[in-house]
Amino acid sequence: MLHYNPSTHSFIIPKLQIRNYRSPNFPTISCRFVRENYNGLVLDKTRDDKGMKWYHEMKLEVRDYECDRYGVVNNAVYANYCQHGQFRLSEMLGLTAAVDVVALKELSLKYIAPLRSGDRFLLKVRLCDFSAVRLYYENLIFKLPNLEPILEAKSTVVWLDKSYRPTRIPQRVISLIPRS
């Protein structure tokens, strides 16, 4: 749940401190949380992840056709934003669609506030963990310029072979994942 602290004009997103928590979407991890301050927004994040410790950031703008008749971004469009960010991050890491095939297995979205037509926003994506055949992404969307939290999302992507069957992630791909 998101909490607003009026004295510091900041948002706090609390996370539970649980050891060996098993989520249906993500592998068992031993959680140690460290607070990260991002321009007034305080996020908790784990430090035991095998994946990236930083976020790939993109600034985007809401287009008119992404909104419903009330001028609010349709809820399905947020999944497109998350997938777009994951593709851009994959390109930056050196993964190519011609060689590397993945499929979205699960996507969990937590809506915090709406975006409207013309709003500019910051999309943050990181590859937070991986297993033998899965990649786990974390996506955050903040409204610009005040970095108001809009969405939190987590997704699971499965690595596929040429016959579209789940397969182990190649070692060359694991070596491309930055750990710091």
Domains delineated in the chain: 56-176 (3.10.129.10)
Q: Using CA atoms, how far apart are residues 121 and 130, in angstroms rounded to an integer? A: 27
Q: What is the pLDDT of residue 138?
A: 93
- What is the reported pLDDT for 49? 58
User: What local confidence, expressed as pLDDT, does residue 141 receive?
Assistant: 93
Taking the C-alpha atoms of residue 167 and residue 172, their distance in angstroms, rounded to an integer, is 14
68 is catalytic: yes
Confidence at residue 73, expressed as pLDDT on a 0 to 100 scale: 92
Mean pLDDT (10-residue bins), the chain, 180 residues: 56 45 40 37 48 83 90 91 89 73 88 91 89 89 91 91 86 77
Predicted local confidence at residue 90, as pLDDT: 83
Of 68, 100, 119, 161, which is the active-site residue?
68
Q: What pLDDT is attached to residue 2?
A: 53
Pairing of strands 120-130, 134-143: antiparallel
